[in-house]
Structure formats: C-alpha cells, structure tokens
Amino acid sequence: MIGLLLAALFAQTAAAAPAPAAALPKPLAALADGKHKDGTPILTQKQRDTLAALPERTIKLLSDAADSMILGSPEELAALLSLDVQPQVLDLIATDNCVLCHADPMNQKPKALFSPDPKAAGSNPLLNLRELVSDVHFRAGLSCAGCHGGKPSDDVMPKEIATRWPAEEVRHTDRSWIPEFCARCHSDTQFMRGFNPTLPTDQLAKYKTSKHGELLLEKHDNNAAQCVSCHSVHGIRSAKSRNSTVHPQKVPETCGKCHADPEHMKGYLTSAGAPLPTDQVEKYKKSVHGQALLVKGDLGAPSCTGCHGSHAAQPPEVASVSQVCRRCHAQNGMLFDSSRHKKAFEEHKWPECGQCHGHHDIQKPTVSLIGNTTDTLCGKCHAENSKDNPKCNETAKHFRTTLDEMIAGREEVSGEVEHLAEMGLDIEPVTRSLSDLDEAVTQSKAKVHSFSMSTFDAAAKPGTEALQKSRQEIGEAHNEFQFRRRGLVGAIVFMMLLVAGIGLKLRELERSRKDSDKP
Amino acid sequence: MPTNDTEPVRTRRSLLDLLLGVGFIGFAASALYPVLRYLKPMASAGPGGPLKLTADEVGKLAKEHSIITRLGTGRVLVFEDAQQNLRALDARCTHEGCTVQYVPGDSVIWCACHNGRYDLDGRVLAGPPPRPLALYGCTRDPDGSVTIQPPKKGES
Amino acid sequence: MSVDTSNIAKEGGGVFGWLDRRYGLTPLVEFMKHKEVPVGVHSMFWYYLGGATLFFFMMQVCTGSLLLLFYQAGESTSYESIRFITTKVPFGWLVRSMHCWSAHLMIISLVTHMFSTMMLKAYRPPREMTWVTGFILLSLALGFGFSGYLLPWNELAFFATAVGTDSMKAVPGIGDFLLQVLRGGTDVSINTLHRFFGLHVVILPLVMVGLVTAHLLVIQRQGMAPPQGHKTAPKGMRFFPDFALRDLQLWLMCLIVLASLAVFLPYGPHIPGIEWELGKKANPLAPAYPGIKPEWYFLWIYQLLKEFPAHFLGMEGSQAAVLLVGLLMGAWAMMPWLDRRAQRDEASPGFTDIGAATLIFLGFLLFKAWDIGGGGIGDKLPDPVLTARICAFWWLGIASVATALRATVLHQRYFLFTAATALQIALHGLLGMQYLAAGGIALVALVIGLLVLRSRGQAVPEVRS
C-alpha cells in the first residue's frame, strides 16, 4: 500500500511541470477564490499565504483532488490549510479520498464530519481532523482504510467498510473485540517490522494477563480499559511525543481518567476485599516520584506504569513490590536483603519497601522516620512487634543522632558561609567540605537499610569528619577576619599617631615663627 | 632666650620626633607588609589547571582499579579499564549528583542512588541520568605518574 | 623638614648641592618657599579636595599596578584570575577592594572638588584652562570607571557594558562606527574586553598623567584662586610646609577611611552601581536579567535615557537624550566663558544657583534610577509613579533645607534656577506629569522669571547668546 502511494507520489512529482509560482492551477484557484454569500473571501489571508508557500508537488495533488471534486468546497480547503501541518502531511491528505470526503463540511453530515474543531462543527469529538493528521498510523500512510477497510483511492465508499468489525449492535455493547482487532497488526512481528522494528509485539499477550484484560475478555466488562481507552482513537501518538496520552508525564492523568473516578470504580474490590481506592493519582502527584516526573521533568522517574506495568497492568504483589523498587533503588535493596529485617518481614508477610515508605504517596524520606521513640517509624513498629530488643533501639537511636548531628551541623555551617562570603573571605574550602558532607549524608541514609551499626558508621564517618573539617575551616575564616580587623586597627593607630605628630609639628612651627617674629 | 626654657622645648621636640618616627615606621610597615605578601609568589600559582595524582592515589589506583579525586571544586573518577588504559570521568552523576563508581566486573560506571549506568566513555546506558558524564583527559607519564586534564570546554 | 635648604645650596654640599649645580634648583625651591595658599573667607576645606583626588588617583595607580601582576585578560582567564586574586593571593582581596573603593572615592572627591570650584567661581579669569583641564580629567575618570567595570568579565559587568556601549549608537552620524570601534565588533565580546583593558591600563593612564601634570602646572603657575571679591590676595598660608603638611594629614585620613571600607565592606555597600561582588562569570548567550545598572556616576544619564519616549522632536528618543547630555556637558565645560559677571570679578549669584540646581537635578535622577521608594522587592518590579513621588518628596525636602541654609547662613538671595528645578520635580513627582513635559514647563517658567528679573534690573546671570 505504502509502496503504491510512494510510487504515485514520485510519478506525480516527476510529472509536475514547472509552473509559475504565483498562479494556482485552475481547479484549485477556483476553490481558493471562493467567497461567502456576503462577498467576503472564505480563505483568510493567512491561509492564502500558506497555500502560496506550498511546494509545487502539494499544489498539484490538491489541484488534482479539486479537479475530481473530492476536495469539494472552499470551506474544506480552508479547514485543511488551517491545520498548519508540513506539506508532506497535506500530500497524504490530498491523496486520501476517505479524508477528503469526510472533511468537507459542505458535503458531509455533522455526524460523519472530520473537522479541526468538532465542537464548533457540531460533530463527534472523536472526529477531530487535527488529531487525525497527527496520528502515528495516518503519518505512516495507513490511512483510514487500515482499520475501517476499503481503499483510500476509492471514489465511492465500498460495501466492505467496517465489515471486519462485529455488527454495529454488538460492537458498542461488548468491547472485547478491540484488543484482538489491534493485535491483527501489532502482534504480527512480520508486519510490524516494516514500520517500527523495535516496537514489541507482545501487547495482546500481556494484556490478557492484566487485570484489565481479565475483566474485559473473560467477564466482558466494558468498564475495563482496552487499547483505545489509553491510546485514544483517531489521535494515537508515539509514547515519546509530549502530546501523547501515554507519554510518561501524561500517564497519571490517563490512568486517572478511570482510576480517580469513584463512579467508574464503584464495585471493584482489592484482593483483600476492600473497595478499590480512587486517590492514587492524587497521592502520586504529591509523592517524590510524581514531583520528580511532573514538576522537575525528570523522565526517568516512574509514573504509574513504572511499577504496575502498562499492557500487563496489575497491582504488584507483596512478593514482587520490592523487586519493582529495586529496578532503580538497587543499592538499598541489596542492603536490605542482607539485613536481619529481611527474614522478619518475610515472616510477617510485609511488603519490604512499602512497609516503611508507602506506595503511591512515597515522600522523600527524612530522618524523622528513624529513632527509638514511638513517634518514629522504627520505634513505633518495634514497640508493637519486637518489644524486647534493646540493641535495635540503640542502633536506631545511633542512626538518628548521627544523622541529626550531620544535618544540623550542615545547617549551622552553611549559615555562616554566606556571612563569611559577604565579608570577602575565601569559602571554597568550606563549600568543598560541605559537599563531602552532603555526599556522606546521602550515603549513610542509604546505609540505614543495612540496619547494621558498622555498615552505617563506615558511611557516616567521612561525614562527621567533613563536618569537623568545615567547622575548622569556618574557624580559620573567622581567624582570618579577626586578623584583618586587628591589622587594620594597628595600621590606623600608626596613621593616627602620624596625623597627630604632624599636627603638633605644625603648631610648633607656627609658635617658633611667632617667636622669631617677636624680636 | 632664657636657658630654663630651652630644656622643656628640647624634650618636647625630641618627644615629637619620636612620635613622628614611631608613627612613620609603623605606618610604613603596615603598608609594606601586605604589599610584600602580595608580591611573594605562591606555591601553586594560577587558577585551575591540570592535576597530578599523588603517589598514594596512584598506588590506590593500581590496587583498586579506580579512585575518586578532587579537581578544582569537582570530583573526578579515575579508573583503569580491562585493557589497563586509564580513563577519567566527572564523578558526579548527571541525575541527582551522587558520586558514581566503577564496576570492573561489568565494565560500567554505576550510580548507586537510582541505578544509573554509564559506559566507560560516560555515555548513559540505562537508568534515569539525562546526560553523559563529562570526559576528562587522563595520561600516564613514563615515570608512572598520572595527570588529569579538565574537559576542554568548561561547563558554565 | 625645617632645614634651611638655601644654606646648603650656597655651600654647594650634599646631594642637593650636587643637583643644584647641574640643574639650577634654587629658583624652584625659592618658588616653593614663597608659594602661598589664600585663606578662604569661610573655610579652607575646599582647597584640600584637589589634593584628596590626587591621593585617590595615586592609590589607583599603586593598587592597579599590583592587580596587573596577577590579572590575565582573556575569555577563560579574566574572571578566573580575579577570583584567584580575591580568594587565594595573600591580601589580594585587600588590593582589589581598595582599588574599587578608591575609584568611587576618587569620583566623589573629584565631583565635590568641581562643584566647590563652581560655587566659589574659581574658574574666572585667568584660570579658565584649569577648569577646562579639570573637566577633561573628570571625563577621563569616568572613562576609567567604565572600562574597568568590564575587566572581571562577570555577568553584571557584561550586561552593564552591553547597555552602556549601546547608547553610543545614538550619537548622530558616526554612532554605529563609534559603537563598533568601542566594542571591537557589533556585540560585546572578548574583543571588547581586550580593548577596554588596553584603554584602562595604558591609554587612559598616559593621557591622565599628562593632563594631571598640566592641571597642576597651571595651578602652580597662577597660584590658587583667592576668594571672590578680593583683588589682592588676602592673608595667605605658606604652601610649604604648612599647607603641604595639612595635605599629608588629610591623605592619611583618606587612607584610614579607604582601608576601613576595604576591610569591612570588601564588595562595596551593596547599592546598585556601587558593588563589585564577582558573582557569575559572563555568558554572552545568557539572557539579561532585571536590575542591571551602570555605576552610580552614570545613573543620571541612564535615567535620562529612560525618561525619553521612543521618538522626540523628530529624533529617536535616545538620540535626543544623548544630544541633551552632550549639550549640558558642553555648557558645563564652557562655564568660565558663560559666567560674564565672574569674568568681571563681580558676584554672580545666578551661577551659584545654577550649581545648586544642578546638584538637585542630578540627585533626583540618581534617586529615581535607584528606584527609591518604588517598592521593588524580589520579583516585584518597582512602580515608576510611586518612585517618582517618593524621590520628589526627598529632593523637594533637600532643596528646601539647602535653600533655607543658603538664605540664612550664606545670605544668598538668588534661587530662580533652584525654583525651576523644584517646579519640575514637583510637577513630575507629585502631579504625575511626564518628566520631559514637566521639564518643559519649568524651562518656560525659568525664562519668564529671568525676563522679569531683567526688567526689574536685578542681578540676572548674563549668558552670552
């Protein structure tokens, strides 16, 4: 199909005679000069300029379409030009009779009209021309026919349109045919290789294992998400495109369309039998991952799919949730595995990471979690589950005091640094020590996951040393300033002496002059 | 002039000269001292520049295949690859600024914080780092000493 | 110091004798011995300001030479070397801080010196050339400040220079040429730095030293100006040693002030245009940020440029502003010839008032440029109307106090120019009129006032047309 299309394109490009740039071919010129009933031109000046700037090839294709009356009205030409797309996309449109016919507001009922602004045109919101022309399938030359049947070159809509789909009465009431329909191509490795060889072809297989797939395919529950629920219908874009509904930064919103809607989620239960919550997206947005992805723009941070998977979306089970975290937090995972908590957590059947850090609402962990008092996470849990273990409490206390000391010390020192910088002192050594300290704080916070005093201390030691060093450097800077002040005072004293001496000398000079004047 | 007047005048005059002398010498000293200190060349003059590893660091490098050292205000990871070529990379992970480490077994540079991985030229292999690590120049001189050169174009 | 040198000269002994026999120094010594400084009517203070300026200039030469030993002009060295000087070199911070402070103090004492000369009419014949050389010295000092500002190659300097040199293109006819010559290209770049460096350490110092010598020579030749109205010099003070020793005392005091400021405020008092914290290195591709201001002595021009609309009297606004500044500066340089009463050694209260009015005019613009009272904190931009109002309060207050003092203590009776300036400030700041419109109205009022005074036959400052 593509080959044919390209061949047609080349043939037409080769055939296009060098025409004067200013003059449009007759059929197109007739459309371009179309006027409203009141005599005002239908094409705006901007659209006219866009038209004039199009390459010859595109003009020729549009003109051919106008000649065969498929590009049927000035209004349609205006709509196409208002899309502001590259000429190559216009070429695709101009050779696709489906689009040409369905985008003509003069020949098409609103119900079946593709318009750049469906709301204004009164048509179905799915029939958005702007979306359609940026659809990855359309751009790849698949055209409407790829899904609906028929051929883009057909002048009249053939009978076989939509015959690949279930009958109209069924297809809207039971959506379970959709995954299979998309999979006709997307599970065909041979076919997909011709478009995007790196794209996986296991989506359907995965989908069947997902909660969504289970509900839709087995229970025929139309509420369950299928392909178009997430990828949209006529505006499907690559996940790398920022406008895609499955771009990492858009995923929370896309999942939230259903999962944040209490009405939609009514009646669904967790594996424990409780009603499924609908506040995950809201929690996620406030979490450290949500902030990193949505606010800082760190595309490496996980969205919903980072933990749940996309096509195989499932809540991770207790056994696997910590493996999911370890994909990024590998070091902490390893430390935890070799700690004594590993066994204890297994006995309690607790999810490892989530037990302390939460899941959707994970916050940047602070030292306030650590400690032996019951207002801390460690202390509270140990008081409830592991009462007679003074050594644990001691360790927790040690973690907390060491970290507190480093953090408070940093605060104190950095407050001084600013002041010293203003006084013109060299703060480079201190900032260097402080960056060492920061690194040690990060490292020792991670080493908390070993729950071992010696492992923690090995990481914290450079930190306490750096803190000490920075304090010493601050002291040195203070001394330096003291030295400057003292030196200044000394110099001023000498200068004042000199000033006073000169003053006395002047007085004496005048007195002796008076004396010598007397006789 | 009566003789009894001359004595106090003379004392006063010599006192005044003493005052002027002390004042002048003190002033001259306090003005000259900073100037002389300023002029005396320093041990390592000049801003920034290449760094020579200390003997300790070279020893540690031979033993552990990698070390982390300071260059200016930054941290540099110096390591020996499987072919025993020396390489040097900015040690600060481009994701959140943690210090990266060399994993000789996998021939990768690894950041423990979020599992970022780089190849030995600093290019991102996996994980969240947005940019590659800056590549430093690193040469082993015939006498065995190691010199690290900052990247050609300094980051702003 | 009180050794009688003429005796040694006669005996021909010692180093002086040796030199005297070869170069005939005795007349010079005689000249120095008899040189006198007139004792002022009110105060001797004004006679010391030239000396203080000279002192600060010498400090600039000393500290500048020291800085030159470490400074390396260049894209990747300028900023780094200044950073190195202030953080690593022993007492480098002191040298840079004193160089910066001394620069500002030199301009302050220079401007004060100039205004005292103006108020005392010391420019009257035969000392016109002293005034003119002094005026050129002021321009050179401003050139020093402008070229030196860029040398650390930091962000602040970069943008201030970009804005400052840009006004050059408003000079009619040769503006573009001047701009390119100054910048060494169409944009501020490292070429500009090299040009400014050459200007700052070779060209300007050479010219400056020559002109300072000329300035001092004409003063030595003619003696210092006696107070007005004294045809014969009144009681004088011996220049050497009496005046010279007092000068030395003042210099020491200046040094004390300079050193203290340098130690306690090493980066300046943190007022826009009087600060030199190194900050970030210049990046020619970075976008400009708000709050970029030139040094304080250029702020009145900067503000005047802002007051002009895009087009004014058929010219571009900035062209008109540059023209106005040129006219004002030109008139200032021609002061000895404009003031015809002073030429006849008559009292010329009108020009005294012009001096006072000029101070108020410049002060108001300076305050506006600082956005005083505009409430611009953090991201909030200052409100220009509010700024104008608060600055007007300030300067109307200062003007009334100054006028009251002049009337009661100095018994002056001529305030027409001060009144016109105050009128402009009031119209602009209190009634919210455009700065230029208010200026126009004040100018008309001034002309009417001058005509009225002339018709009444009162003291009108005669200005040659």
The CATH class that applies to domain B51-149 reads mainly beta
Does position A3 have pLDDT exceeding 70, yes or no? no
Shortest alpha-carbon distance between residue B115 and chain A (Å): 5
Residue B145 has a pLDDT of 83
Residue C10 and residue C55 in one domain: no
Across the interface, whether the CB atoms of C66 and B35 are under 8 A apart is answered: yes
Look at residues C66, C263, C95 and name the one whose alpha carbon lies nearest to residue A425.
C263
Total structural domains within chain C: 3
Across the interface, whether the CB atoms of A508 and B20 are under 8 A apart is answered: no
Does position A335 have pLDDT exceeding 80, yes or no? yes
The verdict on residue C333 lying in a domain is no
- Interface probe for A, chosen from B16, B32, B76, B90 (most Cβ of A below 10 Å), is B16
Candidates C93, C248, C253; nearest CB to A424: C93
Residue A191 and residue A325 in one domain: no
- Which DSSP symbol is given to C239? I
Residue C252 and residue C216 in one domain: yes
Task: Give the residue-averaged pLDDT of C28-55.
Answer: 80
- Cβ-based neighbours of B16, under 8 Å, separated by 6 or more: A501, A504, A505, A508
Task: Give the residue-averaged pLDDT of C370-380.
Answer: 75
Residue A68 has a pLDDT of 85
Candidates C242, C253, C267; nearest CB to A506: C242
Strands annotated E in A375-502 = none
C positions 242-281 inside 8 Å of A (CB): 242, 245-246, 248-249, 252-253, 255-256, 259-260, 263, 266-267
Distance of CA A483 to the CA centre of its chain: 54
Residue C113 and residue C19 in one domain: no
Q: Cα(C376)–Cα(A489) distance, rounded to whole angstroms?
A: 38
**A353-370 confidence digits (pLDDT tens):** 888 888 888 988 888 889
Task: Give the residue-averaged pLDDT of C50-73.
Answer: 95
**B36-85 confidence digits (pLDDT tens):** 999 988 755 433 567 788 888 888 888 888 898 887 767 889 998 888 88
Task: Give the residue carrying structure tokens 């030359």.
Answer: A141
Instruction: Name chain A contacts of B115, Cβ cutoff 8 Å.
Output: 327-331
Across the interface, whether the CB atoms of C89 and B156 are under 8 A apart is answered: no
Look at residues C247, C256, A502, A494 and name the one whose alpha carbon lies nearest to residue B23.
A494
Task: Give the residue-averaged pLDDT of C350-375.
Answer: 91
> Identity (one letter) of the amino acid at C432?
G
Residue C55 and residue C110 in one domain: yes
Does position A415 have pLDDT exceeding 80, yes or no? yes
**CA C402, C407, C408: angle at the middle one, nearest 5?**
100
Residue C279 and residue C421 in one domain: no
Shortest alpha-carbon distance between residue B37 and chain C (Å): 6
Does position C422 have pLDDT exceeding 90, yes or no? yes
The verdict on residue A509 lying in a domain is no
Q: Cα(A304)–Cα(C412) distance, rounded to whole angstroms?
A: 83
The verdict on residue C107 lying in a domain is yes
Does position A488 have pLDDT exceeding 90, yes or no? yes
Residue A475 has a pLDDT of 94
Instruction: Name chain B contacts of C89, Cβ cutoff 8 Å.
Output: 38, 42
The verdict on residue A519 lying in a domain is no
Does position A346 have pLDDT exceeding 60, yes or no? yes
Angle between helices C244-264 and C49-68 (to 10 degrees): 50
Nearest CA in chain B to A442: B98
Total structural domains within chain A: 4
Instruction: Name chain B contacts of A508, Cβ cutoff 8 Å.
Output: 12-13, 16
Lowest mean pLDDT among A192-201, C26-35, C317-326: C26-35
Residue C242 and residue C375 in one domain: no
Does position A149 have pLDDT exceeding 80, yes or no? yes
Which tops the pLDDT comparison, A16 or C225? C225
The mean pLDDT value of chain A amounts to 87
Residue A196 and residue A162 in one domain: no
**A394-410 confidence digits (pLDDT tens):** 999 999 999 999 999 99
Residue A73 and residue A135 in one domain: yes
Percent of chain C with pLDDT over 70: 91
**C247-277 confidence digits (pLDDT tens):** 999 999 999 999 999 999 999 888 878 888 8
Could you give the ipTM of this predicted complex?
A: 0.86
Candidates B22, B99, B128; nearest CB to A439: B99
Across the interface, whether the CB atoms of B39 and C69 are under 8 A apart is answered: yes
Q: Cα(A179)–Cα(A312) distance, rounded to whole angstroms?
A: 13
Q: Give the residues across from B70 on adjacent strands.
A: B75
Residue A406 and residue A483 in one domain: yes
How many other C-beta atoms can be found within 10 angstroms of the C-beta atom of residue C39?
A: 15
Percent of chain B with pLDDT over 90: 24
Q: Cα(C23)–Cα(C216) distance, rounded to whole angstroms?
A: 21
- DSSP state letters, C318-370: HHHHHHHHHHHHHHHHTHHHH-HHHHTT---HHHHHHHHHHHHHHHHHHHHHT
Which tops the pLDDT comparison, C431 or A389? C431
Task: Give the residue-averaged pLDDT of C118-128.
Answer: 89
For residue C103, give the CATH number of its domain. Answer: 1.20.810.10
Chains that touch A (3 or more CB pairs under 8 A): B, C
C positions 262-321 inside 8 Å of B (CB): 281, 283
Chains that touch C (3 or more CB pairs under 8 A): A, B
Residue C376 has a pLDDT of 67
Residue C10 has a pLDDT of 53
Candidates B34, B39, B40; nearest CB to C94: B34
Residue C13 and residue C136 in one domain: no
Look at residues C181, C113, C157 and name the one whose alpha carbon lies nearest to residue C355.
C113
Residue C132 and residue C238 in one domain: yes
The verdict on residue A379 lying in a domain is no
Nearest CA in chain B to A430: B73
B57: left (phi over 0), alpha (psi -120 to 50) or beta: alpha
Chain A residue set in contact with C, beta carbons under 8 Å: 422-426, 428, 484-485, 488, 491-492, 495-496, 498-499, 502-503, 505-506, 509-510
Residue A11 and residue A141 in one domain: yes
Residue C128 and residue C178 in one domain: yes
Candidates C88, C242, C249; nearest CB to A499: C249
Give per-residue burial for B75-101: e unless 16+ CB within 10 Å, then b: bbbbbbeeeeebbbbbbbbbbbebbbb
Torsional sign, CA B55, B60, B61, B63: positive
Nearest CA in chain C to B33: C91
- Cβ-based neighbours of A349, under 8 Å, separated by 6 or more: A318
Burial of A486 (0-12, 13-18, 19+ CB in 10 A): exposed
Across the interface, whether the CB atoms of C95 and B34 are under 8 A apart is answered: yes
Q: Give the residues across from C36 on adjacent strands.
A: C238
Interface size, chain A vs chain B, as Cβ–Cβ contacts under 8 Å: 77
- Which of C256, C290, C323 terminates a domain? The answer is C323
How many other C-beta atoms can be found within 10 angstroms of the C-beta atom of residue C142?
A: 16
The verdict on residue A157 lying in a domain is yes
| Three-class secondary structure assignment of A314-369 | CCCCHHHHHHHHHCCCHHHHHHHHCCCHHHHHHHHCCCHHHHHHCCCCCCCCCHHH
Lowest mean pLDDT among A81-95, A433-447, A459-473, C20-34: C20-34
Host domain of residue A476: 390-488
Residue A331 and residue A480 in one domain: no
Nearest CA in chain A to C240: A506
Instruction: Name chain B contacts of C91, Cβ cutoff 8 Å.
Output: 34-35, 37-38
Q: Cα(A441)–Cα(A444) distance, rounded to whole angstroms?
A: 5
Residue A158 and residue A235 in one domain: no
Q: Cα(A86)–Cα(A49) distance, rounded to whole angstroms?
A: 14
Residue C405 has a pLDDT of 94
Residue C286 and residue C381 in one domain: no
Host domain of residue C181: 45-299+310-323
Residue A306 and residue A320 in one domain: no
The verdict on residue A410 lying in a domain is yes
Shortest alpha-carbon distance between residue B10 and chain C (Å): 15
- Kindly state whether A39 is in contact with chain B, defined as any CB-CB distance less than 8 angstroms: no
Residue C269 has a pLDDT of 87
Does position A14 have pLDDT exceeding 60, yes or no? no
CB-CB contact of B103 with B95 (8 Å): no
Residue A131 and residue A242 in one domain: no
Across the interface, whether the CB atoms of B156 and C283 are under 8 A apart is answered: yes
Q: Give the confidence band of C458 by pLDDT, cuts at 50, 70, 90.
A: low
**A20-47 confidence digits (pLDDT tens):** 445 788 888 888 888 888 888 888 888 8
- Kindly state whether A487 is in contact with chain B, defined as any CB-CB distance less than 8 angstroms: yes
Shortest alpha-carbon distance between residue C163 and chain A (Å): 27
Residue A343 and residue A434 in one domain: no
Which range scores top for mean pLDDT: A466-480, C43-57, C444-458?
Answer: A466-480
Q: Beta strands B108-111 and C36-38: pairing type?
A: unpaired
Residue C9 has a pLDDT of 43
Residue A290 and residue A335 in one domain: no
Residue A65 and residue A125 in one domain: yes
Q: Cα(C75)–Cα(C83) distance, rounded to whole angstroms?
A: 14
Instruction: Name chain C contacts of B37, Cβ cutoff 8 Å.
Output: 90-91
Strands annotated E in chain B = 51-52, 66-71, 74-80, 86-90, 101-103, 108-111, 116-118, 124-126, 135-140, 146-149
- Kindly state whether A169 is in contact with chain B, defined as any CB-CB distance less than 8 angstroms: no
Look at residues C207, C209, C211 and name the one whose alpha carbon lies nearest to residue C129.
C211
Q: Cα(C24)–Cα(B110) distance, rounded to whole angstroms?
A: 84
Residue C142 and residue C283 in one domain: yes
**A161-214 confidence digits (pLDDT tens):** 877 888 878 888 888 899 999 999 999 999 999 888 888 999 999 999 999 999
User: What does chain A come to in residues?
Assistant: 519
Residue C170 has a pLDDT of 81
- Kindly state whether C94 is in contact with chain B, defined as any CB-CB distance less than 8 angstroms: yes
Which tops the pLDDT comparison, C460 or C378? C378
Which tops the pLDDT comparison, A3 or C32? C32
Residue C4 and residue C60 in one domain: no
Residue C396 has a pLDDT of 96
**A57-85 confidence digits (pLDDT tens):** 999 999 988 888 888 888 888 899 988 88
Residue C277: CA atoms inside 13 Å, Cβ hemisphere, count? 14
Residue C327 has a pLDDT of 93
**CA B40, A430, B49: angle at the middle one, nearest 5?**
50
Q: Tokens at residue B8, please?
A: 């106090």
Q: Tokens at residue B98, please?
A: 């943690």
Shortest alpha-carbon distance between residue C278 and chain B (Å): 15
